[in-house]
Amino acid sequence: MNLKDLAKALELSQTTVSRALNGYPEVNEDTRKRVETMARKLGYAPNQQARRLATGRSMSIGHVIPRTLHEMMNPIFMEFIAGAGEAYSRLGYDMIISVVEDRQVEATYREIAAKKKADAVMVHGPRNNDKRHLLLKELGIPFLVHGRVPGAESSTSWIDVNNTRAFERATDLLLDLGHRRIAFLNGLENMDFAIRRRAGFERAFQNRGLAPDPSLMRQSEMTEPYGADCALEMLRTDKPPTAFLVSSMISAIGVSRAISLCGLEIGKDVSVITHDDALSFLPNSGEVPIFTCTRSSVRYAGRRAAELLIEKILPDPDTRIEEHLEAELIIGRSTGPRQR
């Protein structure tokens, strides 16, 4: 069942049928109704490939995931994808995901451009010396960055959590509670978001004329053992931290395991604040959440990002988008005044 058949069945030209279905004005309202009815009756759906070829638009958005990124960040990433996916299917777009080796990222983008595989791409996990935005501009593919490319904030479209502010506020809270020896378990600091979080952490100290203890600051992939191992090691020194600021729920769970192992009580002997991406399988909710946290739904970010990106490709690809999401600071059971 293709357009030709449908047109024949209706005794109309392909032109008219096509226009009727695509909502063009130069077709009689009665005809349109008739066409739509028949289309539904015969189960007609335009062949995606043909339409794409004819219109030149692929109606799909590309996501290129280098291995280093998907290797570890993946639960958070998945949540973002889930959000974006919702928006895409609502708006009639396809999401195409390419999981590739790091060194193939550039080739993959070039292929997307050359073969016209996608109308736009989403850029994930911007890093220190990220060059992807330059490549994409060269290739002329519209894109949106989830996060910010350092140094290119004002020349790219992006959506990002206000990481600096979130972590500054979290640190402020710990300082207000009397903590001074605050451990900071950050994500890998070649990632832009981690750099910003660190800046927030340090700024809070500076604002009070204090300085964080460098020996309590770590960075790594945000796994559970990372949290546990760091916390264990730190808690066993003679000058253990009285509080932890952690970049991810997953690592925070590790920290909390370590605290238990040391026979200490979380929220009493040791305070913990974590950044909570609102991962569905790690709900930190309830009346009083387990962890005090800076919370920002990454799924929402995904949904919003998808909407913005599609908006961007529609009328004028040159409009630049900046969207800041603020994280909430939510008090849970893992923080309390300094005891020792």
- Per CB under 8 A, residues contacting a second copy are 43-50, 52-53, 58, 60, 65, 70-75, 77-79, 81-82, 85-86, 88-89, 94-100, 104, 108, 111, 114-117, 221-225, 250, 253, 256-257, 260-261, 279-283, 290
Closer CB to DNA, residue 5 or residue 323? 5
203 binds, among a second copy, DNA, none (CB under 5 to 8 A by kind): none
2 binds, among DNA, a second copy, none (CB under 5 to 8 A by kind): DNA
Shortest gap between Cβ of 331 and DNA (angstroms)?
Answer: 54
Map the footprint of DNA across residues 23-62, applying CB under 7 A. 26-29, 31, 44-47, 50-51, 53-56
86 binds, among a second copy, DNA, none (CB under 5 to 8 A by kind): a second copy
15 binds, among DNA, a second copy, none (CB under 5 to 8 A by kind): DNA
Shortest gap between Cβ of 320 and DNA (angstroms)?
Answer: 26
DSSP-derived secondary structure for 141-194: --EEEES--TT-TTTS-EEEE-HHHHHHHHHHHHHHTT--SEEEEE--TTBHHH
Quote the DSSP letter at residue 120: E
Report whether 65 contacts 99 (CB < 8 A).
yes
| CA 307 to centroid of chain Cα atoms | 13
108 binds, among a second copy, DNA, none (CB under 5 to 8 A by kind): a second copy
Shortest gap between Cβ of 59 and DNA (angstroms)?
Answer: 11
Q: Does 3 bind DNA (CB under 7 A)?
A: yes
Given 3-state DSSP classes, what are the helix, strand and coil percentages for the chain, each rounded to the nearest 5? 45, 15, 35
- Taking the CA atoms of residue 250, residue 253, residue 254 and residue 259 in that order, the dihedral angle to the nearest 10 degrees is 160
Paired strand residues for 292: 273
Measured N-to-C along each axis, helices 249-261 and 224-235 cross at an angle, to the nearest 10 degrees, of: 40
**Side chain identity, residue 120:** A
221 binds, among a second copy, DNA, none (CB under 5 to 8 A by kind): a second copy
SS3 96: strand
Q: What is the pattern of x (binds DNA, CB under 7 A) and - over residues 9-28?
A: --xxxxxx-xx-xx---xxx
Closer CB to a second copy, residue 3 or residue 175? 3
Q: What number of chain residues touch DNA (CB under 7 A)?
A: 28
d(CA 329, CA 40) in angstroms, rounded, equals 51
Pairing of strands 292-295, 328-330: antiparallel
Q: Give the interface with DNA as residue ranges (CB under 7 A).
A: 2-4, 11-16, 18-19, 21-22, 26-29, 31, 44-47, 50-51, 53-56
